Amino acid sequence: MELRNARIVTPGRVIENGSLSVAEGRIVEITEVSGTPSGLTVLPGFIDLHIHGGGGADTMNATPEALATLCRTHAAHGTTRLLATTITQSREAITAALVNVAASTEPVLGGIHLEGPYISPGKPGAQPKEFVRSYDAEEFAGWLTAAQGKLRQITLAPEQPGGDALMAACNAAGIMISLGHTDLTAAQTKSALDAGARQATHLFNAMNGIHHRNPGPVPVFLTDPRARVEIIADGHHVAPEVIAMVYAAVGPTRFIAITDAMEGAGKGDGIYGLGGHKVTVTNGKATLADGTLAGSLLLMDQAARNLRAWCNLGWLELAQVTATNAADQQGWHDTGRLTEGALADLVVVDEDLNVQATYVAGNCVYSREQVPLAEG
């Protein structure tokens, strides 16, 4: 396969009119070419580390059909790898979701993000509070077995009972520790980073805010180079001005765009479910009955549009915050970047970041009817 006469966004360099050749699922050559540019851009495929659902399906449905719908929905918006994310629920419900993901062969599926249940009862957000609990070593060991090596990331509150033991178990299993739904102080945040945590789950949301004499976790995340930060760039969870502030603080290498999408993503306004809650979606905003934000309707192409506008990002920076940083955070060094030898996980977009085609390992998983690029 060859894509020609497109802008190619490689690490550190944008080729304004280039060709990208693929063989056996990997990029074999990227070169400059002559001819009339198509007006299209090839970016590394978007990577989303925090997705609950989409297209009317949810990870917790625990069926192959639901996972297929979720993956197809996000692939149509440029996502080439995602972590199917659970929610705080019963042992049985979480186990079923893990078993389902572990058995899946969906090409977009990169693994599991376990969000809860070992979080703070004071910061549940939209997580069902009745299922929030302290670390249970036997339960967690069972989940590791059920996940068959696909448990890649966990959101936890390290200040809760058993937090140290849980982080040690995650470090031993090679699971990325993300801190969220937490009552952390600044000092506790530093201690958790010392213990191996490396990420903030949806920064600002479901954690203590900033006060100039009681800073909480946010300033630590913004200034400690060991941590990357998730941001839900929908304009509802965090104001655009604050997102711009975060980007200015952490720069292009520590910012990870996520959607935190729930099942209504790609569907529009209506009534949906999330962890047993009824969620009302109105004008693109998902809330519980009490007004609590309940995931998002965001898809990664819209996140990219928002971040380009709010943070004044160029193509290089956009590729980092929507793909490269997430790949590096997960140790996926053969994706998230357009380089020779990397997997051909890529998205073709127009100037307005509308997705024209999505490829995973060189296979087209989504395409509009006509993509004006030479391909063969």
pLDDT in tens, the chain (376 residues): 999 999 999 999 999 999 999 999 999 999 999 999 999 999 999 999 999 999 999 999 999 999 999 999 999 999 999 999 999 999 999 999 999 999 999 999 999 999 999 999 999 999 999 999 999 999 999 999 999 999 999 999 999 999 999 999 999 999 999 999 999 999 999 999 999 999 999 999 999 999 999 999 999 999 999 999 999 999 999 999 999 999 999 999 999 999 999 999 999 889 998 877 888 999 888 898 888 888 899 999 999 999 999 999 999 999 999 999 999 999 999 999 999 999 999 999 999 999 999 999 999 999 987 555 555 4
Exposure b/e, 182-195, CB count within 10 A at least 16 = b: bbbbbebbbbbbee
- HSE of 164 in the Cβ direction (CA atoms, 13 Å)? 3
CA–CA dist 336, 82 (Å, integer) = 12
Catalytic residue (one of 48, 58, 183, 260): 260
Domain ranges of the chain: 2-43+338-367, 46-330
DSSP three-state, residue 336: coil
CATH of the structural domain 2-43+338-367, one choice from 3.40.50.1820, 3.40.50.1000, 1.10.10.410, 2.30.40.10: 2.30.40.10
Q: Domain 46-330's class?
A: alpha beta
Calculate ∠ Cα 64-69-75, nearest 5°.
Answer: 120
Query: What is the pLDDT at residue 290?
Result: 87
Query: What is the pLDDT at residue 370?
Result: 57
Strand partners, 83: 111
Query: What is the pLDDT at residue 295?
Result: 85
| Contact between 229 and 222 (Cβ < 8 Å) | yes
Is 334 marked active-site? no
| Contact between 67 and 104 (Cβ < 8 Å) | yes
| Both tokens assigned to 315 | 């193509």
Exposure b/e, 294-308, CB count within 10 A at least 16 = b: bbbbbbbbbbbbbbb
Q: Do domains 2-43+338-367 and 46-330 have the same CATH topology?
A: no
- State the CB neighbour count (10 A cutoff) for residue 28: 15
pTM (2 decimals)?
A: 0.96
